[in-house]
Chain A
Amino acid sequence: MKQMFTLAVAALLAGVASLGASPEAHVVHVKDFAFHPASLTVSVGDRVTFQNDDDEAHTVTATDKSFDSAGLDSGQTWAHTFDKPGTYTYLCALHPYMKGKIIVLKAKQP
């Protein structure tokens, strides 16, 4: 029992120690024919979930085609992990006037 407790504490501490550099989860909402937020800054390794809260189908398609959700129906979500720093512009291929941007920074300092 004591041994188990020690292991649990060790695991907890390890978790806290790595928190600063661990990937974060972000959500971009698609609503009223717009991406919210339209511009989002994340760190390398972060995962961004795009959630279609609209009553119309949309897509999340990088202008350089480096990622593409395909058709996202109302209520559907799609997630992408950004592995390389840079600025990624994207749009909805069904309504290309809907535009967004993800700025991916180098990994955070611990």
Chain B
Amino acid sequence: MKRKEFIEHVGWTGAGIAWTLSAAGTLTAAADALGSGLTFIQISDSHIGFRRPENPDVIGTLRKTVDAINRRAVQPAFVVHTGDITHLSKAEQFDTAKTVLSELRAPVLYLPGEHDVIGSPAEYFTFFSRADAKDGWFSFDQGGAHFVALVNVFNFERMGLMGQQQLDWLAKDLGAQKQSTPIVVFAHVPLYALYPQWGWTTEDGSKALALLRRFDRVTVLSGHIHQIIEHTEGNIRFATANSTAYPQPKPGTAAKPGPLLVPPDRLLGVIGYRTVQLDDRGGSALSDITLG
């Protein structure tokens, strides 16, 4: 089987961030063997129900993603889906997605994207409710790190809005954490102004970031834009992930966002999943792995 893996490896050092870029699978073995900290996997933007030439088989590519993750020698502590599980929030789309994702060997966590809450979040909650997340957002501790899943897609008039209720909850949640505790945040839409012209921003994201600034190491992982873009602000590191379905244009390189058509034999090279490895000091190493 032809398998090309594009690995982007980023690690924290004492003073800042060291960036290493490699290509074509040379780091595959190294990524599996890195350290002994917690490893988890991020997948995003599966858009089950999408039927266009940019990806005529989004169920198939989600299955490929699941298979690739299941084949990994070292299984992740969990897999988090950072939203846009479905294309149009329909029950049958959630049902299909849940059926495919239930094949994962690792536990799966979900947060919604705007495509999962069209009209109302009712269907999303029918399929992916959590006892500890009655409002959608939640947090937990694992492997010495504190994880927070935020929702910034519930306001239909101002997408990328968290709202005061959630911010109050976040202030309380983070208030109980030590400065040295590694913090990992999941949010569908990027929390900073990545490209506001296309709606790729969270309007009240700066309020969440203000609460995160006091921590030594924060990693914020998002989806929404169907491509990998990394960014840092002080001790806060941001990274958006590839979709499991189709890419979107780089900011400003097209007249508008939306599905980007690539030659069919190149699609698998621009979609996939991400492994995240937390080291003993709370730094994070990201590897973005494509399906072909």
Cα distance A55–B257 when bound, in Å? 10
CB–CB A56/B258 < 8 A: yes
CB–CB B199/A96 < 8 A: yes
Please provide the chain A residues from 33 to 71 with a CB less than 8 Å away from any CB of chain B in the complex: 33, 54-57, 59, 61, 63, 68, 70-71
CB–CB B199/A97 < 8 A: yes
Identify the stretch in A7-15, A16-24, A77-85, A87-95 within 8 Å (CB) of chain B at 4 or more residues.
A87-95
Q: Which of A33, A71, A74, A91 contacts B52 (CB 8 A)?
A: A74
B283 CB to nearest A CB, Å: 35
Q: Which of A32, A68, A93 contacts B256 (CB 8 A)?
A: A32
* Chain B 74-98: CB-based contact to A (< 8 A → 1; otherwise 0): 0000000000000111100000000
CB–CB A70/B159 < 8 A: no
Cα distance A96–B117 when bound, in Å? 14
B15 located at the interface, meaning its Cβ lies under 8 Å from any Cβ of chain A in the complex: no
CB–CB A96/B159 < 8 A: yes
CB–CB A96/B158 < 8 A: yes
CB–CB B156/A57 < 8 A: no
B29 located at the interface, meaning its Cβ lies under 8 Å from any Cβ of chain A in the complex: no
Q: Which of A54, A56, A73, A96 contacts B156 (CB 8 A)?
A: A96
Question: Nearest residue in A to B155 (C-beta to C-beta)?
Answer: A96
CB–CB A59/B255 < 8 A: no
B5 located at the interface, meaning its Cβ lies under 8 Å from any Cβ of chain A in the complex: no
A55-B52, A68-B119 are known contacts. Are A93 and B114 too (CB-CB below 8 A)? yes
Cα distance A56–B261 when bound, in Å? 12
B43 CB to nearest A CB, Å: 20
Given the complex, which residues of A lie within 8 Å of B157, measured CB to CB? 63, 91, 93, 96
B48 CB to nearest A CB, Å: 13
CB–CB A93/B118 < 8 A: yes
CB–CB B118/A94 < 8 A: yes
B164 CB to nearest A CB, Å: 19
A71-B118, A91-B157, A93-B114 are known contacts. Are A56 and B87 too (CB-CB below 8 A)? no
CB–CB B118/A70 < 8 A: yes
A87 CB to nearest B CB, Å: 16
Cα distance A97–B114 when bound, in Å? 14
Given the complex, which residues of B lie within 8 Å of A56, measured CB to CB? 256-259
CB–CB A55/B259 < 8 A: yes
Q: Which of B115, B156, B199, B259 contacts A61 (CB 8 A)?
A: B156
Given the complex, which residues of B lie within 8 Å of A55, measured CB to CB? 52, 54, 258-259
Q: Which A positions have Cβ atoms within 8 angstroms of B?
A: 32-33, 54-57, 59, 61, 63, 68, 70-71, 73-74, 91, 93-97
Q: Which B positions have Cβ atoms within 8 angstroms of A?
A: 49, 51-52, 54, 87-90, 114-115, 118-119, 156-159, 199, 255-259
**What 10 A-B pairs come out closest when comparing CB atoms?**
A71-B88, A56-B258, A93-B156, A71-B118, A33-B256, A70-B119, A96-B159, A94-B114, A55-B258, A96-B157
Beyond contacts A57-B87, A71-B115, A91-B156: 12 other A-B pairs, Cβ-Cβ < 8 A, are A33-B258, A55-B52, A56-B256, A57-B88, A70-B88, A71-B88, A71-B89, A71-B90, A73-B87, A93-B118, A94-B118, A96-B199
Between A and B, 29 residue pairs with Cβ closer than 8 Å are A32-B255, A32-B256, A33-B256, A55-B54, A55-B258, A55-B259, A56-B259, A57-B87, A59-B118, A59-B119, A61-B156, A68-B119, A70-B88, A70-B89, A70-B118, A71-B87, A71-B90, A71-B115, A71-B119, A74-B52, A93-B114, A93-B119, A93-B157, A93-B159, A94-B114, A94-B118, A95-B159, A96-B156, A97-B199
